[in-house]
Chain A
Amino acid sequence: MTSPPPGVTLHPAAAALTGRHRPRPWEAIPWVLALGFYFAFPKNLGFGTELLVTILFALSLDLVLGYAGIVTLGHAAFFGAGAYTVGMLAKHGIWNEPLTSLILAAVVAAAVGLGSGVVLLRTRGLTLLMLTLCTMALLEEAANLAHAYTGGFDGLDSLPIPPLFGVFEFNPLYPTTQYLYVLAVLFLCFVFVRTLVYSPFGHSLTGIRENTLRMHAVGAPVPARLVLCYTLSAAIAGIAGGVWAQANAYVNLGTLGLDRAATVLIILVLGGYGRLYGAFVGAVAYMVLSHFLAKIYPTAWQLGLGLLLVVIALFARSGVLGLGEEIWRRVRATRVAS
């Protein structure tokens, strides 16, 4: 980025364009809140950890769905691949050091993403939707069948996860280590995704989402970009699955199920997809509501969730963040007018 010569001021629009990747002050808010949560609610850190993992998973989906515009119903395949990598390596005593296990989880999930992406992403629309769904169902069935290695329907529990850096223990009753560990992983992944999204690569993804034909015409390698994006997203989803397995010390078939894939889709759309913080807003709104409502009134919760989805699909297509933006724009417009 070349800076303008001294004495020359950029046009406001140009300044906004060259500076839009820079961090803004308000972007610190979620992280301050997350740290504040650690001190304010020491009793609810288990819930907090689950929340952070969900944000990370939703963030990975945002990359494919929000930026590249690939509609998938099978994103839990990668979450499960990561979780089972960590779980199986630890349970069978092969490898259980937390950080390197996470890297392995990311590599395995990325391999699954690359392998399926290369073939699946040649299709579009309903076929793509069906293929992602079938791939996930295939993995779930495979995990169910290979119960000698995966524990089948019961999954693998009490995974032996050694202390982080050999010092900080993963205590299931007081998940302080888990919370800070997942928060750190989320932060690193977020910085990665944010950088990616504002890079020329990220812009080319947006271009493919908005007008695939035109991106072909300007010579962008569309299939390669999509596969790369899918693979990176799979790796991040694998990391989310991996930390989930480490934090809970177990894996089960639920990590690969349609339930998880549909939930993360709902969360992302609730928050607003194609915007980095949609995953945060959606996960907090969904998890807090489900934490308090789903346990007491599971059926009413499902009914409410259904109504919410219908309303979002019909009226509020850009989620909570989109609504907020719209209101902000109207407020500003009236202020300028008066």
Chain B
Amino acid sequence: MIWGVDLASMLLGGLAAGMVLFIVSVGLSITMGLMGFVNLAHGGFAMLGGYTIVLAMRRGDVGFLPALALGFVAIAALSAVCERLLYSRLYRAPELHQVLFTIGLVFIMIASVTLWIGPESQPLPLPSLLQGQIDLGIIRYRTYSVVLIVIGIAIVVGLWLGFERTRLGAQIRAAVDNRRMAESLGINIDRLFTGTFAFGSGMAALGGGLGAEFLGLDPQYALKYLVYFLIVVAVGGLGRVTGVFYAALLIGVLDFVLKKYVPQGGTLFIYALTILLLLWRPQGLFGGRAT
């Protein structure tokens, strides 16, 4: 029975980490799939969102939920401005310039946060309701991790419904699959993309705030976890909500288990697995046809 409890607690921890990975990465997957834009600044938006949420709670005395909403709105607005003013000029540019531009943007974000707020790590003050442990019948587990899993499932169900069952979702899917055809059908791609981009960055901001408890939150966050976000997107396939969800859970659980049993070589294994997987299926594990 001890063995089963161990397994369950590991699974829960991995799932909670996977949910955070999913919330941050889903926007990246959709925007990359939609515009083919290599956005390395996505982790930067997550970092800025995390700071907005944590600082609103610590300095502004805002509650947890209002702070999350504030982070989402603030970062969505900021990214919409960036998209209209800067990103949109580079849609037809070669990848190299997109990479350079977004690396530059990350540097600007990291340096600004370091200058104004400081290089130290910012802890997330959890409301007392979410601290402590919860009885799940077979085991007791950290309340916050369970809450994260519930939030993650709620978000993926909401996104799936929005993606598969609404007109807007259908437009996004059409644009991911065939941009020119969608444009010919009268879908306003520019507006669609600004909206999606803002929404995706807002989600990243939520993920940055929700995950600050165990991923930590400091200016280097923007680059530290970038490889992980990119791996999730590459494995899940571009522009696929459910693909990113499965990939994030897979990598979250795998990382959690490996860190526990093989603390040294775990990351190596994930990189190797990603390389093999991408060689086998360049469009990702859950992606559709290669475009």
Contacts and interface: CB of A to CB of B under 8 A. Distances in A.
Interface string A161-192: 00000000000000000000000000000000
A305 B271 contact: no
Interface stretch (B19-27, B95-103, B120-128): B95-103
A134 B238 contact: no
Interface string A121-144: 011011101110111011001100
B271 A303 contact: no
B254 to A, nearest CB: 15
B9 interface: no
Nearest to A311: B104
Contacts of B109: 306
Contact of A302 (B36, B98, B107, B274): B107
Interface residues of B, number: 44
A172 B99 CA distance: 37
B111 A299 contact: yes
Contact of B32 (A126, A302, A303, A310): A126
A224 interface: no
Interface string B7-51: 000000000000000000000000010001010000000000000
B268 interface: yes
Interface string A284-313: 000000000000000110110111111011
Interface stretch (A24-32, A92-100, A242-250, A262-270): A262-270
B272 A138 contact: yes
B84 to A, nearest CB: 14
A317 B97 CA distance: 8
B268 A141 contact: yes
A253 interface: no
Contacts of A258: 223, 227
Interface in B236-265: 238, 264-265
Interface stretch (B130-138, B161-169, B181-189, B275-283): B275-283
Contacts of A138: 268, 271-272, 275
Interface in B110-169: 110-112, 114-115
A299 B93 CA distance: 29
Q: Which of B94, B231, B271 has the most CB of A within 10 A?
A: B271
A319 to B, nearest CB: 11
B105 interface: yes
Contact of A307 (B106, B108, B234, B238): B108
Contact of B90 (A127, A133, A313): A313
Contacts of A131: 275, 278-279
Given A299-B111, A310-B104, A313-B104, 11 more contacts: A120-B279, A123-B282, A125-B36, A134-B278, A265-B99, A265-B100, A299-B115, A302-B111, A306-B107, A307-B104, A313-B100
21 contacts: A73-B99, A119-B279, A123-B278, A126-B32, A126-B95, A129-B95, A131-B275, A131-B278, A134-B227, A134-B278, A145-B264, A262-B103, A265-B100, A299-B111, A302-B107, A302-B111, A303-B112, A310-B101, A312-B104, A313-B97, A313-B98
